[in-house]
Amino acid sequence: MPILDQWDLRLDADAVLRGQGADPSILRSRRPRLFDIAGQALDEGLALIKPRVLYERFTVESLCHNRVRLVGGNDLKGEAPVQHLGAAQEVLIAVCTIGGELEARAQKVMETEIVYGLALYGVGSAAVEALANAVCKDFEDEAAARGWQTTIPLSPGMIGWSVEDGQPQIFSLLDGSQVDVRLTSSSIMLPLKSLSLVMGLGPDLNRLGTTCDFCAMHAVCKYKNNHAKPE
Ligand code: SF4
């Protein structure tokens, strides 16, 4: 399975603060010190991340009422895969990770410096989201070069595809150990700063809504409809 490991993730202190669930525009005036801490965490954290994307390409064979059948006999099951991938000709399935070193460092720092430790976690969240956005852009560019379109990226935990349903399906199709990512018995990826996704490609594909429309955080997220920037 291909592994992509050459990534130039451009992050700033705003992204780190958003990765902590904070609003940079509010903090800028009220807690400027947190910007400095986010910047320090970014300097240290970028040296500790190892961005890698493991992916595989599958041809879609058919669509049944509750599953998308892939050539080779595997299925993607659930409401969201059927809704979004049914008209796709191919699917790309990916696991993105920044490795576990930053996470381990953040965990250690949290024992004595909670604010700085949270900022390091924020670097990790921002980095893995930036990595996922970058690989989705690559997939979209590849589709466009073929005169095709893409679906929105689907990730377990979105509306219509629970973590418990989706993660085991993805990890049955990809060997996460190739990028040192494993799934726990409760379907959580370790290292935590990892993200899995599925994207459909094909001619005459209609993109159904946006990532935010199908995000479980939609009702409370202050960044919705601005997905690519805040995460
Ligand atoms: S609503 Fe959109 S921006 Fe907010 S967490 Fe979900 S996908 Fe990200």
Q: In CATH, what number is assigned to the domain containing residue 72?
A: 3.40.109.40
Residue 220: inside a domain: no
Question: Is 224 touching ligand 1 by the criterion CB < 6 Å?
Answer: yes
Question: Is 153 touching ligand 1 by the criterion CB < 6 Å?
Answer: no
pLDDT score, position 226:
59
- CA 206 from chain centre, in angstroms, equals 22
Residue 147: inside a domain: yes
pLDDT score, position 230:
37
φ, ψ (nearest 5 deg) of residue 55: -145, 165
Residue 67: inside a domain: yes
Residue 72: inside a domain: yes
pLDDT score, position 28:
79
Residue 17: inside a domain: yes
Tell me how far the alpha carbon of residue 131 lies from the centroid of ligand 1, in angstroms.
15
Instruction: Please list the alpha-helical segments (H only) found in the chain.
Output: 13-19, 24-30, 32-46, 79-85, 101-109, 114-145, 163-173
State how far the alpha carbon of 100 is from the alpha carbons of 51, 110, 121, 172, in Å.
10, 15, 11, 22
Closest ligand 1 atom to residue 230 Cα is: 3
Tell me how far the alpha carbon of residue 228 lies from the centroid of ligand 1, in angstroms.
9
Radius of gyration of the chain (CA): 18
Ligand 1, atom 8, residue with closest C-alpha: 227
Residue 228: inside a domain: no
pLDDT score, position 130:
96
Residue 227: inside a domain: no
Closest CA to 52 of 182, 180, 198: 180
Residue 87: inside a domain: yes
Range of the domain at 172: 3-214
Question: Is 14 touching ligand 1 by the criterion CB < 6 Å?
Answer: no
Count: domains in the chain: 1
Residues of the chain with pLDDT under 70: 225-231
